[in-house]
Amino acid sequence: MTDVPTSGPLTLAELEAIPVERLRGVGQKKKASLAQVDVHTVADLLTYYPRRYIDRTKEARVSDVAPGEEALVLGTVARIDSRRTRNGRTLVTASISDGSGRLSVTFFNQPWRTKQLAEGTVAAFFGKVDLYRGAKQMANPVVDLVGDRTGRIVPIYPQSDKAGLMTWDVASFVTESLRRCSERGLGDPLPADVLAQWGLMSRHQAMTLIHGPESMSDVFGARSRLVFDELLRVQLTLLRRKRALELACVGVQHRIEGELVDRFRSALGFELTAAQQRTMDEIDFDLSSATPMHRLLQGDVGSGKTLVAVHAMVVAVQGGHQAALMAPTEVLAEQHALGIRELLSEIEVPDDRTLAGWRPLRVELLTNRVGAPARRKILAGLAAGEVDIVIGTHALIQDGVEFASLGAVVVDEQHRFGVEQRDKLRDQGRSDGRVPDLLVMTATPIPRTAAMTVYGDLDVSVLDELPPGRTPIITHRVEDDVGLSEMWHTVREEIADGGQVYVVCPLIEESEKLDANSAEEMFERLAATELSGRRLGLLHGRLSGHEKEATMAAFRAGELDALIATTVIEVGVDVPNATVMVIESAERFGIAQLHQLRGRVGRGSAASRCYLVSTHEVTSDGDARLDALAATTDGFELAEVDLELRGEGTIFERRQSGRNDLRLASLRRDKEWVVRARSAAGSILDDDPSLGRYALLADELKWFLSDREGGDYLLKG
């Protein structure tokens, strides 16, 4: 832990050392309430920021608001009832009075409002005012209980009925904390020139104003400063790690030009896209440098990442080294092995031990399914340098896997691996201390500024172009029985025309067993009803490896009309003849996952369709997700929507406990601050890599990392 001084301005580490029960008004009960929202210390409390503010200077009197306008009304609940509508939804209606008039407020499907807004409750209502049967009405407004708080701008804290924590409780504890900080003040780790450069206020002022602003422009200024702090901590951490790695590591300097690479290029049946060409150039530059490559290859589904990765692997093999590709699932590893063997089928490598001086390039698949004798052979081949490329799952990082000379590592779908796993594969690959080049591929598009943060220790290449000849996927939402029967009708027609179909079953929970059951049920139901007489296959995680492989092979060969599957097909599965994707209970999936699933079709030249089925009630977020998917196939656009809907929080994987890295900053809204923080981190580290002259900042980073298992958290990114 950081050494904590006991005088001078307060550091975050010091505030972290003061438990909330030391505050006036926090007894056992409130302590427990605060603990439920992860507030244990004064530092937690001060960074438990208001969720929004009620600007009472904008408060309107009911008698003054005109229909069609958005308004903030503060009033007392005079009456509230709840009833069921004809289609089975609940409708809560409240009558609000503010002395000047009455406003009717309605809520759909929010039965809990009758408890929240008991008669006599004072609350703020924000929304659009309409005229309904001659009376002013607001439908589904934003509601904040304000209690007896005064002031022009009232901060509203995230509250929790369950935890028994109301916004006014938090406000009073925060006020008390700030009062007790005021004597020593909050220390400022930022150098004056950085503050001046971006026009930032001091931390003390920012912390005071975010909790007690006089105007909305106070909030804005305070927020900027605190956002910058959060982003700077993250960027400094990532950048320091990146630089340390670069300094400490010597890589393999690969030669790019050569016969193998030429043959690989000329054996391709198509032209590279401009994005592929550019990305390969970026990778070539890294490969030929003495610093190990540490690069993220980002590209939407179908953008042709595999080819780019294979190019890097071929460069390594050409120089007499080996390459490894690690995928998150067996299905995906198999799919890669199949595709890559095909891409490289014509390629031979020089070998003095053979008569001809050449032998076919050898690609092996290593998963936990490979039987012991075969496994032994592959391991021997890897250790002897006779296996050129190995493709596999986690099995690649188990003990006993040794390489003669691993030159390049490709990790696919990185969000499923921890950083320590990708590093392990690199670390075990060489005995001479040099570090193999690393390429991480992800099909989850992330806006560039977010990538800068989430993958801040990697350089980023983006494949932002799809190969030509793809027909856009048409996406339909299916919300009722009529839609369903039309959908199955179209599915049968597609099958009759020779197309193939995926049906993805509802995600039950993180349980392979339940997911498998649901897929089995669906399989049987469809076989008996909508798809009777069609050739159906079933694929889920509980099948044996052999069964999975056989089913996938049959589907690929066109021997099955439809594949009923769980999300095991989410990534990598590539069957160009598949033209329809049906996703059942689509509302249960996230945007990224739906986008991935949809990307399984539209891989050939035929027009493809995706059906998002949601026949049950859907939350407004769920609805927004499905609408976004229906509106665009652009992964980057979807990623932005996703960021917005999910809200952000944790960059470093610490979701269960501990403080969030980003409480206030939003990778979406604060893009320019991400860039500024990155640049500030760069200049600070250029100026003083050890941060010796930035003592407060160095301390703060130590504190930032200390909560996280001694800094290991980074390895779990």
Instruction: Write out the residues near ligand ADP by the rule CB under 6 A.
Output: 270-273, 276, 299, 301-307, 443, 467, 574, 603
Q: Which does 307 bind (CB under 5 to 8 A by kind): ligand ADP, Mg ion, none?
A: ligand ADP
Q: Which does 467 bind (CB under 5 to 8 A by kind): ligand ADP, Mg ion, none?
A: ligand ADP
Range 459-498, binding Mg ion (CB under 5 A):
none
Least separation in angstroms between CB 398 and Mg ion: 24
Least separation in angstroms between CB 446 and ligand ADP: 15
Q: Which does 40 bind (CB under 5 to 8 A by kind): Mg ion, ligand ADP, none?
A: none
Q: Which does 272 bind (CB under 5 to 8 A by kind): Mg ion, ligand ADP, none?
A: ligand ADP
Nearer CB in complex with ligand ADP: 305/477:
305
Range 548-577, binding Mg ion (CB under 5 A):
572
The stretch near Mg ion (CB under 5 A) out of 169-177, 301-309, 590-598, 689-697 is 301-309
- Which tokens belong to 395? 């099995």
- Which tokens belong to 464? 């932002």
Q: What's CA 196's distance to the chain center, in Å?
A: 34
Range 406-435, binding Mg ion (CB under 5 A):
none
Name which of 486, 643, 667, 648 is nearest 580 in CA terms.
486
Q: Check the CA dihedral 522-523-527-531 and report its sign.
A: positive
Residue 700 carries which side chain, given as an amino acid letter?
A: E
Nearer CB in complex with Mg ion: 279/306:
306
Least separation in angstroms between CB 600 and ligand ADP: 10
Name which of 441, 467, 451 is nearest 299 in CA terms.
441
Q: Which does 622 bind (CB under 5 to 8 A by kind): Mg ion, ligand ADP, none?
A: none
Tell me if residue 273 falls in helix, strand or coil: coil
Which residues, at least 6 apart from 446, have a Cβ–Cβ distance to it below 8 Å? 298, 454, 455, 639
Q: Which does 299 bind (CB under 5 to 8 A by kind): Mg ion, ligand ADP, none?
A: ligand ADP
Least separation in angstroms between CB 412 and ligand ADP: 8
Q: Which does 304 bind (CB under 5 to 8 A by kind): ligand ADP, Mg ion, none?
A: ligand ADP
Least separation in angstroms between CB 303 and ligand ADP: 4
Q: Which does 337 bind (CB under 5 to 8 A by kind): Mg ion, ligand ADP, none?
A: none
Nearer CB in complex with ligand ADP: 224/303:
303
Tell me if residue 33 falls in helix, strand or coil: helix
Least separation in angstroms between CB 599 and ligand ADP: 7
Nearer CB in complex with ligand ADP: 161/346:
346
Nearer CB in complex with ligand ADP: 35/272:
272
In sequence order, what E strands does 512-557 have?
536-539
Hey, which residues does 299 pair with through a beta bridge?
463
Nearer CB in complex with Mg ion: 306/322:
306
The stretch near Mg ion (CB under 5 A) out of 10-18, 191-199, 304-312, 382-390 is 304-312
Count of alpha carbons within 13 angstroms of residue 617, beta-carbon side: 8
Nearer CB in complex with ligand ADP: 238/578:
578
Least separation in angstroms between CB 300 and ligand ADP: 7
Under a CB-based contact definition with an 8 Å cutoff, are residues 626 and 491 in contact?
no
CB count within 10 Å of CB 171 equals 20
Strands 142-145 and 294-299: unpaired
CA 506 to CA 692: how far, in whole Å? 54
CA 41 to CA 31: how far, in whole Å? 10
Nearer CB in complex with Mg ion: 436/572:
572
Least separation in angstroms between CB 601 and ligand ADP: 12
Range 18-77, binding Mg ion (CB under 5 A):
none
Least separation in angstroms between CB 500 and ligand ADP: 15
CA 278 to CA 465: how far, in whole Å? 11
375 vs 139, 338, 360, CA distance in Å?
Answer: 64, 18, 20
CB count within 10 Å of CB 375 equals 18
CA 339 to CA 345: how far, in whole Å? 10
Nearer CB in complex with Mg ion: 167/306:
306
Nearer CB in complex with ligand ADP: 241/416:
416
First to last CA, the chain: 22
The DSSP H or E segment spanning 28 is helix 28-36
Nearer CB in complex with Mg ion: 306/593:
306
Least separation in angstroms between CB 264 and ligand ADP: 13
Which residues, at least 6 apart from 683, have a Cβ–Cβ distance to it below 8 Å? none
Count of alpha carbons within 13 angstroms of residue 111, beta-carbon side: 6
Per-residue binder mask for Mg ion (CB under 5 A), 321-350, x = binder: ------------------------------
Least separation in angstroms between CB 375 and Mg ion: 25
CA 171 to CA 156: how far, in whole Å? 8
CA 379 to CA 222: how far, in whole Å? 58
Residue numbers of the site for Mg ion (CB under 5 A)? 306, 572
